[in-house]
Amino acid sequence: MSLAVEIAGVRLKNPLIAASGTFGYGVEYEGLLDLSLLGGIVSKGLYMEPRDGCPTPRIVETPSGLLNAIGLQGVGAPAFVRDVLPRLARYDTAVFVNVCGDTVEEYAEVARVLAGAPGVAGLEINISCPNVKKGGMAFGGDPRMTHEVVAAVRKATRLPVIPKLSPNVADVALFARVCEEAGADAVSCINTLLGLVVDVEARRPKLAFGTGGLSGPAIRPVAVRMAWQAARAVKIPVIGIGGVSSAQDALEFLIVGCRAVQIGTANFVEPGVYARVLAGLEDYLGRHGLDDVNAVVGTLRFPGEGAEAGSEG
Amino acid sequence: MSLAVEIAGVRLKNPLIAASGTFGYGVEYEGLLDLSLLGGIVSKGLYMEPRDGCPTPRIVETPSGLLNAIGLQGVGAPAFVRDVLPRLARYDTAVFVNVCGDTVEEYAEVARVLAGAPGVAGLEINISCPNVKKGGMAFGGDPRMTHEVVAAVRKATRLPVIPKLSPNVADVALFARVCEEAGADAVSCINTLLGLVVDVEARRPKLAFGTGGLSGPAIRPVAVRMAWQAARAVKIPVIGIGGVSSAQDALEFLIVGCRAVQIGTANFVEPGVYARVLAGLEDYLGRHGLDDVNAVVGTLRFPGEGAEAGSEG
Amino acid sequence: MPANRDVALVAREVLEGAYVLLTFRHPEVAREARAGQFVMIKAGTSADPPLRRPFSILAVDPERETFSLFLKAVGAGSRALADLPPGGAAQCVGPLGRPFEPPSDGSEALMVAGGYGIAPFLLFVRELRRAGRTGRVFYGGRTVADLQVREPFTALGVSLVPATEDGSLGHRGRVTAPLEEYLDGGPGPATLYACGPDAMMRAVARVAERRGLPAQVSLDPWMGCGVGTCLGCVVRIQRPDEPQAKYRCACTEGPVFDAATVVWPGEAASLARRRAVEVKG
Amino acid sequence: MPANRDVALVAREVLEGAYVLLTFRHPEVAREARAGQFVMIKAGTSADPPLRRPFSILAVDPERETFSLFLKAVGAGSRALADLPPGGAAQCVGPLGRPFEPPSDGSEALMVAGGYGIAPFLLFVRELRRAGRTGRVFYGGRTVADLQVREPFTALGVSLVPATEDGSLGHRGRVTAPLEEYLDGGPGPATLYACGPDAMMRAVARVAERRGLPAQVSLDPWMGCGVGTCLGCVVRIQRPDEPQAKYRCACTEGPVFDAATVVWPGEAASLARRRAVEVKG
Ligand SMILES: Cc1cc2nc3c(=O)[nH]c(=O)nc-3n(C[C@H](O)[C@H](O)[C@H](O)COP(=O)(O)OP(=O)(O)OC[C@H]3O[C@@H](n4cnc5c(N)ncnc54)[C@H](O)[C@@H]3O)c2cc1C
Ligand SMILES: Cc1cc2nc3c(=O)[nH]c(=O)nc-3n(C[C@H](O)[C@H](O)[C@H](O)COP(=O)(O)OP(=O)(O)OC[C@H]3O[C@@H](n4cnc5c(N)ncnc54)[C@H](O)[C@@H]3O)c2cc1C
Ligand SMILES: Cc1cc2nc3c(=O)[nH]c(=O)nc-3n(C[C@H](O)[C@H](O)[C@H](O)COP(=O)(O)O)c2cc1C
Ligand SMILES: Cc1cc2nc3c(=O)[nH]c(=O)nc-3n(C[C@H](O)[C@H](O)[C@H](O)COP(=O)(O)O)c2cc1C
Ligand code: FES
Ligand code: FES
DSSP secondary structure of B171-208: -HHHHHHHHHHTT-S-EEE--PEEE--EETTTTEESBT
* Cβ–Cβ below 8 Å for A63 and B220: yes
Domains and CATH numbers, chain D: 4-96 (2.40.30.10), 100-214 (3.40.50.80), 219-281 (no CATH)
Q: Check D50 against A73: CB less than 8 A apart.
A: no
Q: Please, what sign has the CA dihedral across residues C138, C144, C146, C148?
A: positive
More confident residue, C270 or A242: A242
Q: Would residue A313 count as lying in a domain?
A: no
CB contacts < 8 A, B to C, total 85
pLDDT at residue C94 in the model? 95
> pLDDT tens digit string along A40-57?
999 999 999 999 889 999
* Probe target for ligand 5 pocket from C96, C233, C253, C256, with the most ligand atoms within 8 Å of CB: C233
Residue C273 pLDDT: 54
What confidence tier does C105 reach under pLDDT thresholds 50, 70, 90?
Answer: confident
Ligand 3 atom 3: the closest Cα is on which residue?
A: A21
Ligand 3 atom nearest the C-alpha of A215 is 25
CA distance D150 to D163: 12
Give me the pLDDT at residue A307, please.
Answer: 42
Measured in residues, chain C has a length of 281
Per residue in D50-92, pLDDT (tens digit) is 999 999 999 999 999 999 999 999 999 999 999 998 889 999 9
What is the pLDDT at residue D273? 54
Shortest distance, CA A63 to any CA of chain C (angstroms): 6
Ligand 6 centroid to Cα of residue A222, in Å, is 27
pLDDT at B307 over 70: no
Q: Which domain holds residue B160?
A: 5-53+70-195+214-295
Residue in A103, A80, A98 with CA at minimum distance from that of residue A152: A103
The pLDDT assigned to A273 comes to: 95
Q: Which residues of chain C lie closer than 8 angstroms to B268, CB-CB?
A: 51-52, 224-225, 229-230
Query: Lowest mean pLDDT: which of B135-139, C52-56, C267-271, D37-41?
Result: C267-271
Dist CA A239 CA A262 (whole Å): 7
Alpha carbons D264 and B255: distance in angstroms, whole number: 30
Across the interface, whether the CB atoms of B216 and C47 are under 8 A apart is answered yes
Sign, CA dihedral C206-C150-C95-B270, equals negative
The percentage of residues in chain D with a pLDDT greater than 90, rounded to a whole number, is 81
User: What pLDDT score was predicted for residue D75?
Assistant: 95
In this structure, which long-range contacts are made by residues A29-32, counting pairs with CB atoms below 8 Å and at least 24 apart in sequence?
A29/A267, A29/A271, A29/D227, A29/D229, A30/A87, A31/D1, A31/D2, A32/A271, A32/A272, A32/D1, A32/D2, A32/D3, A32/D4, A32/D93, A32/D227
Q: Is the pLDDT of residue D165 over 70?
A: yes
- C232 Cα nearest atom in ligand 1: 41
The pLDDT of C168-176, averaged and rounded, is 92
Q: B277: domain CATH number?
A: 3.20.20.70
State which of A22-26, A50-54, A232-236, D148-152 shows the largest mean pLDDT: A232-236
Which other chains touch chain D, taking contact as 3+ CB pairs less than 8 Å apart?
A: A, B, C
Ligand nearest to the CA of D229: 6
- Of the pLDDT bands very low, low, confident and very high (cuts 50, 70, 90), residue A135 is confident
Give yes or no for A206 touching B (CB within 8 A): no
Interchain pair A52, D93: CB under 8 A: no
How far apart are the C-alpha atoms of B56 and B70, rounded to whole Å? 8
Contacts of C75 in chain D (CB under 8 A): none
At residue D276 the predicted structure's pLDDT band, cuts being 50, 70 and 90, is: very low
> Residue D161 pLDDT > 90, yes or no?
yes
Using the mean position of ligand 5's atoms as its centre, give its distance from the Cα of residue B87 in Å. 21
Please give the residue of chain D at the shortest CA–CA distance from C87: D83
pLDDT at C27: 96
Strands C66-72 and C89-96: unpaired
Residues in CB range of A306: below 8 A, 6 or more apart: none
pLDDT at D186: 80
Give the number of beta-carbon pairs within 8 Å between A and B.
148
In the predicted model, is pLDDT for residue B6 greater than 70? yes
Question: What pLDDT is stored for residue A71 in this prediction?
Answer: 87
At position A296, the amino acid (one-letter code) is V
Of residues B129, B179, B189, B258, which has the active-site annotation? B129
- Which run of H or of E encompasses A109? helix A104-115
pLDDT at D269 over 70: no
The 10 Å Cβ neighbour count of residue C157 is 9
User: How many distinct structural domains can be found in chain A?
Assistant: 1
CB contact under 8 A, A32 and D51: no
Q: Is pLDDT at B310 greater than 50 in this prediction?
A: no
**Are residues A252 and B200, on separate chains, in Cβ contact within 8 Å?**
yes
Mean pLDDT for A289-293 is 97
List the residue whose alpha carbon is closest to atom 30 of ligand 2: D75
- Chain B residue numbers with beta carbons less than 8 Å from the beta carbon of C93 are 32, 271
Let me know if residue B202 belongs to a domain.
Answer: no
Q: What is the dihedral angle through the alpha carbons of B163, B164, B170, B175, rounded to the nearest 10 degrees?
A: 10
Residue A95 lies in a domain: yes
* A106 within domain boundaries: yes
Average pLDDT over residues C255-281: 69
The pLDDT, as a whole number, for residue A76 is 94
Q: Which has the closest alpha carbon to A29: A241, A274, A276?
A: A274
Of B23, B64, B272, the CB nearest to C229: B23
Question: With helix as H, strand as E and coil as C, how does chain C read?
Answer: CCEEEEEEEEEEEECCCCEEEEEEECHHHHHHCCCCCEEEEEECCCCCCCCCEEEECCEEECCCCEEEEEEECCCHHHHHHHCCCCCCEEEEEEEECECCCCCCCCCEEEEEEEHHHHHHHHHHHHHHHHCCCCEEEEEEECCHHHCCCCHHHHHCCCEEEEEECCCCCCEECCCHHHHHHHHHCCCCCEEEEEECCHHHHHHHHHHHHHHCCCEEEECCCCCCCCCCCCCCCEEEECCCCCCCCEEEECCCCCEEEEHHHECCCCCCCCHHHHHHHHHHC
Mean pLDDT of C53-82: 96
Q: What is the pLDDT of residues B10-68, one digit of tens each?
A: 999 999 999 999 999 999 998 899 999 999 999 999 999 999 889 999 999 999 999 99
**Does residue B277 have its Cβ closer than 6 Å to ligand 4?**
no
Residues of A with CB under 8 A from a CB of D: 22-24, 28-29, 31-33, 52-53, 56-59, 61, 63-66, 68, 70, 73, 216-218, 245, 265, 267-272
Summarize pLDDT for D218-228 with one digit per residue, the tens: 999 999 999 99
Please provide the average confidence, as pLDDT, over all residues in chain B. 94
> In a mutational test of the pocket of ligand 6, which residue from D247, D249, D253, D257 has the highest number of ligand atoms less than 8 Å from its CB?
D249
Residue C275: pLDDT band (50, 70, 90) is low
Which chain C residues touch D85 with a CB distance below 8 Å?
83, 85
Distance in angstroms (rounded) separating the CA atoms of residues B128 and B133: 14
Residue ID of nearest Cα to ligand 4 atom 2: B21
Indicate which of A42, A58, A197 best probes the interface with D, i.e. most D CBs within 10 Å of its own CB.
Answer: A58
| CA of D50 vs chain A CAs: smallest distance (Å) | 5
Quick check: B33 and B41 in contact, CB under 8 A? Answer: no
pLDDT value of position B65: 98
- The CB of C231 under 6 Å from ligand 5? The reply is yes
- Whether the CB of B145 is below 8 Å from some CB of chain A: the reply is no
Q: Would you give the end-to-end CA distance of chain B in angstroms?
A: 13
Q: Is residue B84 part of a domain?
A: yes
Lowest mean pLDDT among B214-218, C182-186, C229-233, D269-273: D269-273
Averaged confidence pLDDT in chain C: 92
Q: Kindly state the percentage of chain B with pLDDT values over 90.
A: 88
Interface predicted TM-score (ipTM) of this complex, two decimals: 0.94
The residue from A129, A179, A189, A258 that is catalytic is A129
User: Where residue D279 falls among pLDDT bands split at 50, 70, 90?
Assistant: very low
- What mean pLDDT is predicted for residues A97-109? 95
Chain D residue nearest residue C89, CA to CA: D83
Atom of ligand 6 nearest to the CA of D231: 3
Expressed in angstroms and rounded, the spacing between residue A217 Cα and the centre of ligand 6 is: 19
B230 occurs within a structural domain: yes
Comparing CA positions, the residue from C124, C259, C266 lying closest to residue C200 is: C259
> Does B54 participate in catalysis according to the annotation?
no
